Amino acid sequence: MKKKNNNKVKVVPFYGFVVYEIIGNKLLNGLFVNNYQPNLGEIMNEIARKTNEDDVKDISGLYTDAWIGINEDKGVCTTLKISKRNIDFTYNLKWETDNGGMMGIGMKIRENQFVAFYWKKDQPIFLKKITDNINL
């Protein structure tokens, strides 16, 4: 996303949040929102189904994932990989899409809910930029 600022073009990093309902460790029903201009502030739906339905011990795994953005003619179908981090109780997320994909970090917030923060894969220093701007 780009914004004009006194004849300069400033690139605004893409990011968003998704809250999933975990249905039997095989299906994730997500509500997501991001800062993409055509969809700015709109809550959208995402469905992810685990590709190996025998793997139900945890939400980690490979999913077939789909969503439709606001004012889009067709849906987006991709893969989502969720992997548990070894250092704490969080998970890494990785979506593979035609435009390069997204990465995220998430955690369970209840037995059947999972929340994640995500950004474009080609913006690896994005989190540092956000945390640098926090004034407590």
List pLDDT tens digits, range 3-52.
555 666 566 788 899 999 999 878 999 999 988 777 677 889 999 999 98
Instruction: Give a yes or no: residue 5 inside a domain.
Output: no
Instruction: Give a yes or no: residue 106 inside a domain.
Output: yes
Domain with 102 in it: 15-132
Calpha distance 117→130 (Å, rounded): 12
Report whether pLDDT(124) > 70: no
Token pair, residue 61, equals 């795994």
> Count of domains in the chain?
1
Instruction: Give a yes or no: residue 92 inside a domain.
Output: yes
Higher pLDDT: 131 or 107? It is: 107
Instruction: Give a yes or no: residue 91 inside a domain.
Output: yes
pLDDT of 5 reads 52
Instruction: Give a yes or no: residue 7 inside a domain.
Output: no
Closest CA to 104 of 76, 75, 126: 126
- Mean pLDDT in residue range 116-135: 67
- The average confidence (pLDDT) of the chain is 81
Instruction: Give a yes or no: residue 32 inside a domain.
Output: yes
